[in-house]
Amino acid sequence: RGAALLTIPLLGAAGLSFLLLRRLEPWKKQHSRRRGSKTNEANQQALAMRAAYDKMFADFGQSGLDMAAIESMRPWYHGLDVPGLMPWPKLYPQVTPPLPIDAVRLLVLPYEECPTLAATAAAAAADIAKLLSSGVPGIKIFLNARTNLHCTIFHTSHPSDLRPASSTAAGAGHVVAAPSDQGGQGKASNHTGSVQHPQPTQQQQQQQQQAPLRTATDFELQRENDLVARCVATAQPPRLKFERLVLAPSGVLLMTWTDPDGHIPALRSHLRETFPHASARQAKIIHSSLLRIVMSPQLPPLLVQAIQERCDEWSRKLAGKTLTGSLLW
């Protein structure tokens, strides 16, 4: 039942380190007295998340893609210069500057125990990708494999804010510019609901960027793994409620969720307390990334409208679906 550290390639940048943790404990009676106040807080959190999803939907409908966000993704992927070739993510040594081993570490809720839901999500992604490809010749889209679908809970170390030691000041951050084919700085979109904590000053960022990227030690990784496992052991199994399918201006197709019981926000808060020097950039919504537009011109208004209508169709099909899990990775 001990935690084991795994490294697998997934999504946009490189091999991401995941933590395979023991099963979440069932609901404990000692928590029941405070459930009323927690329910009110969970309701407020759910309302805020729904408002964020509605805003992403409306922003895309009004302005289409955030072209700066699309452009910033190019250096993370192979296969962009070959017509007809689907892009695939670069590994750690292949980005510029290269990232250390175990640079990116996060805790996620996988779709492992909901295979039918994963298959439906993959079908929705394929449908939206087909619609995009038919409307924009030469568009480059990365489709996330259904076996990799997950909701991100917490980053102990983020690609743009590396933390070799997330629980101590010794790992208090190495701010990294988005990779570039020319080594330049990229811009990141905030349309996927990440919350920004206090950022280093410009002088601190320059000093951190000039310093070599340090690899986390085995001791630091094991300590982080043990601390995450302790947080998870006291958490409650989540039961997420599907909200809507959204193509965000960032070019990411999102399956969005709320947590009626507030277990995920509570776990995130516990992790933030446990890891005061973890990455500053953390998700404040609950979502799964189904696909990402990696290269594209601005979408025609009629195509934007068609995509939103198709997303609404899939949202109706997925209405009432829930995502549960007894394991976190």
Predicted confidence (pLDDT) per residue in 240-280, tens digit: 999 999 999 999 999 999 999 999 999 999 999 999 999 99
pLDDT of amino acid 202: 52
Helix (H, G, I), strand (E, B) or coil at 283: strand
Q: What angle do CA 170, 164, 111 make, to 5 degrees?
A: 140
Q: What percent of the chain has pLDDT over 90?
A: 64
Is the predicted pLDDT of residue 205 greater than 70, yes or no?
A: no
Instruction: Please tell me the pTM assigned to this model.
Output: 0.81
Q: How far is it, in rounded angstroms, from Cα 136 to Cα 129?
A: 10
pLDDT at position 164: 86
Residue 7's pLDDT band (boundaries 50, 70, 90)?
Answer: very low
Minimum mean pLDDT among 28-42, 52-66, 102-116: which range? Answer: 28-42
**Residue 211 pLDDT class (50, 70, 90 cuts):** low
Phi and psi torsions of 252, nearest 5°: -100, 130
Q: pLDDT (tens digit, 9 = 90+) per residue, 80-127?
A: 999 989 999 999 889 988 888 788 999 999 999 999 999 999 999 999
CA-CA distances (angstroms) from residue 41 to 34, 48, 263, 303, 306?
Answer: 11, 11, 11, 39, 36
Which CA distances in Å does 193 have to 5, 60, 252, 286, 288? 27, 14, 12, 9, 12
Q: Are strands 14-20 and 105-110 parallel, antiparallel or unpaired?
A: parallel
Q: Report cis status (omega within 30 of 0) of the bond before 97.
A: yes
Q: State the Cα angle at 155 between 150 and 158, rounded to 5°.
A: 110
85 or 34, which is more confident = 85
What percentage of the chain has pLDDT greater than the value 70?
A: 75
Q: Residue-wise over 221-235: b if at least 16 C-beta within 10 A, else e?
A: bebbbebbbebbeeb
Predicted confidence (pLDDT) per residue in 271-322, tens digit: 999 999 999 999 999 999 999 999 999 999 999 999 999 999 999 999 999 9
pLDDT averaged over every residue in the chain: 82
Q: Using one digit for the tens of pLDDT, what is the confidence trace for 151-200?
A: 999 999 998 888 988 877 654 545 444 454 433 333 434 444 543 333 44
**CB-facing half-sphere around the CA of 187: CA atoms within 13 A:** 10
Residue 69 vs residues 37, 94, 120, 136, 196: alpha-carbon distances, Å: 39, 20, 27, 18, 17
pLDDT value at residue 223: 94
- For position 169, what pLDDT does the model report? 60
